[in-house]
Amino acid sequence: PPPPPPGPLDFSGTKLVNDAEHPFMDARPGDIRGPCPGLNTLASHGYISRSGITSCSEIITAVMEGFNMENNLAIFTCYSAFLVNGNLVTDKLSIGQKTAKTGPDPPKPATVAGLNTHNVFEGDTSMTRADAYFGGDNHSFNETLFQGFVDFSKRYGGGKYNLTVAGEYRYKRIQDSIATNPTFNFIAPRIFSAYSESVNPINLWVDGRQDDGQLDTEVARSFFQKMRFPDDFHRAARPMNGENELDVLAAHPIEPGTNVNGVNTYTPDPTSGTLPDKCTLYENHVNRTVRSLYPNPTGNLLVALKANMHYFYTSVQPKGCKEIFPYGR
Ligand code: HEM
Ligand code: MG
């Protein structure tokens, strides 16, 4: 079975992370980048493999080391993506497109298609990436959308991206998708990733010496577009767990749902987990999303699935969630 996830950092204060051992290098031909500006940046600086082919062990160490993401949030985020987009048997994940470099495919309907895969983790209403519906590019930086991010930072944040801006811009992106994307989907797991990603820039991209929750929009561009730490960048001052995502939801509460019949037909889906209820998000993911990809696993695949599901569970165990075993113990 694959190795267990790394535990918390020994030293978890701020420190220089754009250091001599982790120089920025442009992606080489063949290197893969994708929809996550955090992981793209870690690849550009060699905290994860510069090829963009990686594993949860490597990612979890890197997001803690490079950004001070809190251990359980790192585990929850990584395994929820890895279980649906990674190769469980070879323990490899592409941070972007599908590639043979992650190894032989398991039986369908599993796809093992990397983080670009639409609707099993990546989803609609991203801040700087378009909805997959609009031409299929759900992963490239989009300048027009970024200008919306900057504009909202001016209107609601005095020029900085902060929690107030996050609440307004998340709502605006949702309203845009309701009005223009007939396939708009905003149920679990997208509920979790959307709000989590709204606060990541505030929690993880503000220099740890500054530590005031006010993100400069040129610093934001450095991560979103250039996939690069600013010069002298120091990681967050303490492990960041993302719980301020609930403030983003509270600014404009909206239930999980979808456009059921074209644009402007947004309809709540009461069977979806909601953001505050991480136990249901965990259960939905394991019991619906993962199981729909792996209805009948056997052999090494089954062993790897069970192990990775358990690692995923350990991140919600502290919240008092009950472990579920869709493939038996
Ligand atoms: C977006 C995966 C960690 C910042 C995404 C997306 C994926 C992803 C698949 C695309 C979702 C979408 O917008 O549709 C992961 C995984 C992580 C991780 C597996 C492992 C722990 C991080 C970290 C940061 C970060 C450490 C910040 C330092 C972001 C941001 C977005 C995003 C800001 C939103 C991009 C946008 O809306 O334009 N991530 N991520 N992520 N990620 Fe990550
Ligand atoms: Mg997206």
The 10s digit of each residue's pLDDT in 5-61 is 999 999 999 999 999 999 999 999 999 999 999 999 999 999 999 999 999 999 999
Would you say the CB of residue 122 lies under 6 angstroms from ligand 1?
yes
Query: Mutation test of ligand 1: which of 9, 36, 181 has the most ligand atoms closer than 8 Å to its C-beta?
Result: 36
CA 328 – ligand 1 centroid, Å: 31
Q: Whose C-alpha lies nearest to ligand 1, atom 20?
A: 78
CA 197 – ligand 1 centroid, Å: 6
pLDDT score, position 181: 98
Would you say the CB of residue 126 lies under 6 angstroms from ligand 1?
yes
CA 35 – ligand 1 centroid, Å: 7
Distances (CA, A) of 102 to 2, 51, 107, 173, 246: 14, 11, 15, 33, 35
Q: Whose C-alpha lies nearest to ligand 1, atom 38?
A: 128
Q: Provide the residue type at 136 as one letter.
A: G
**pLDDT, the chain, mean:** 98
CA 184 – ligand 1 centroid, Å: 19
pLDDT of residue 226 exceeding 90, the answer is: yes
DSSP 151: H
- Ligand 1 nearest atom to the CA of residue 35, by list position: 10
Average pLDDT over residues 142-169: 98
Average pLDDT over residues 258-266: 98
Would you say the CB of residue 188 lies under 6 angstroms from ligand 1?
no
Would you say the CB of residue 233 lies under 6 angstroms from ligand 1?
no
pLDDT score, position 103: 98
pLDDT score, position 1: 81
Q: What is the pLDDT of residues 70-128, one digit of tens each?
A: 999 999 999 999 999 999 999 999 999 999 999 999 999 999 999 999 999 999 999 99
Q: Which listed ligand is nearest to 38 at the C-alpha?
A: 1
pLDDT score, position 184: 98
Q: Which residue has the tokens 């190894």?
A: 103
CA 286 – ligand 2 centroid, Å: 21
Q: Whose C-alpha lies nearest to ligand 1, atom 15?
A: 36
Sequential DSSP letters for 156-225: HHTTEE-HHHHHHHHHHHHHHHHHH-TT-EE-TTHHHHHHHHHHHHHHHSS-TTT-SS-EEHHHHHHHHT
What is the percent of the chain where pLDDT is above 90?
A: 99
Q: Which listed ligand is nearest to 141 at the C-alpha?
A: 1
Average pLDDT over residues 253-276: 97
Q: Whose C-alpha lies nearest to ligand 1, atom 32?
A: 36
* Beta bridge pairs of residue 307: none
Who has greater pLDDT, 329 or 234? Answer: 234
pLDDT of residue 175 exceeding 90, the answer is: yes
pLDDT of residue 4 exceeding 90, the answer is: yes
Counting Cα atoms < 13 Å in the Cβ hemisphere of 16 gives 8
CA 15 – ligand 2 centroid, Å: 31
pLDDT score, position 243: 97
* Beta bridge pairs of residue 258: 185, 267
CA 209 – ligand 1 centroid, Å: 23
Q: Whose C-alpha lies nearest to ligand 1, atom 16?
A: 78
Cis peptide leading into 109, omega within 30 of 0? yes
- Ligand 1 nearest atom to the CA of residue 41, by list position: 28
